[in-house]
Structure 1
Amino acid sequence: MAIMLLGAVSTGQVAAQQSTATGAPGKVAALDSVRPFNVPAQPLDTAIYALAAQAGIDLLVGDAQLQGRTGHAVQGNYSIAAALSQLLDGSGIRFEHNQAQGSKRPSVQLFQLPVHEGNVLSLSATQVNAAHPGDWVYQAPRSVNVVSREQLDRNPPRHAADMLEETTGVYSAVSQQDPGLSVNIRGIQDYGRVNMSVDGMRQNYQQSGHQQRNGTLYVDPDLLSQVVIEKGATSTMGGAGVIGGIANFRTLEASDLLTDGKEIGGR
């Protein structure tokens, strides 16, 4: 059974905590083996490497801040764990046996301990990463707007053109006698200029009517999951032959109706 030692050091205290970890017996040298050490007191960033060389261990520094700290002298016969504890005593650095798979030498990982200054607790840096499915629009190298299902439910459209009223630079002429859409992007509209599509299939066929709308799309907002507006000429799917942009109306899919772990859903 391989041995894992945890060491924590603070002012006036030397502690070593021992726990077991699964591994093949006899593959790595234990940190309790006794060896002679001769490391004088010196800056910690040099003392720790001198001790590691004499102990025959691999050292992983990580985010531990060694500069500006002093390592205690270690002279005499000590176990590797005891030598590390004495060297790091009061430095605010702890160590942990972190054996790399297949290595024949013990590996020690250094960690920074929290530092108390009065009533203030200083911690090491913590990095938090988060992603949302809709964040891709901020990474796209072009102007893109997305009208989500949440927006459509928050402001139910009375006319299909109402779906676009919160999108900058985009609108559609409204006729109470005609529920069709003729998307205008930055002052450009009609067939051959703005591509209106449903699930990627172009829908704005040539049609002449009132208000000079040559190219009209008929769609029910209740059947949509989102509307993606790409402004300007683009080389993405559906962008061939258009100069104003693309308005893609995506219909509901099974993933929009089913919650996690459910096989039946609806709205």
Structure 2
Amino acid sequence: MSLTKEAIQLITDTALVATAKALDTDMPTVVIPEGAKVVNLEAYGAFRSRFRGTFSTNSLLDFGKYVTDRAVGDARGFINQDEMTCSVLFNLGTEEAPGHADDRAVLKLKATAGYQAVQAISGRAMSQKDMSDWIEDWNSTLSAVGEDNQNISLVKAIAAVRTITVKASSESDHTVSETRASRSAMDAIEATSKETLPTSLIFSVVPFEGLQLREIILRISVITSGAQPALKLRWVGEEVQREEIAQEFKSVLQDQIGDAAALSLGAFDPK
């Protein structure tokens, strides 16, 4: 007598249930019917089979404390200076004994409000009112200087921005000889103010929590090509300062973590 496919499947399932076949895995698993499906039994145990999870924070101090408190041997950290982030993997393992790399701490520094304001304003043309309002909003962290680096009070700086006058003048030269005639014309546009217009604003800001206070120089330029004068702030030495901030991030992070994890520049994808 031949057995049907359904009968063979029933006999197989019955045998699996009777023997409760356990698999030789680190995480407790057992084979059950439904096509010999492997089922994870961790959820039914008193504890998880291993510690895992991701700790995420914007605080450099809390990140450092978490990593040092864990004190896991062979922990590896990877720093992305462009993104101001760091990931520490506590169970990365080695080539001979690779880990699951699912126990980690992730730090992503969040720019302070002042640093975000500097990045947003740099290189953007603004009206007189918008510029004066911006200076008023950040007056506690700003100072103004003139052409000879003399200090200018912010009250006078705001008044100077609000009272800019654009003057245009034309000049033409005519030269005539027996064989030729030439003519040149030049238009001169000058922006002036009733008050002394500052040449630069100095913005004092901590770019990210845990890093040192920095002074960012914002050079003021007046744009006279439109119907109304506009102002623009240029971050002097922007790329250099950004690089200095990134280097400081790595240095401070290393001081916070110490020997709790080996840090490297770059990213690691545990696929």
Pick the TM interval, shorter chain.
Answer: under 0.3
Higher relative contact order (CA 8 A, sep 6+): 2
Considering fraction of residues, name the structure with more helix.
2
What TM-score results when the alignment is normalised by the length of structure 1?
0.23
TM-score by length of 2: 0.23
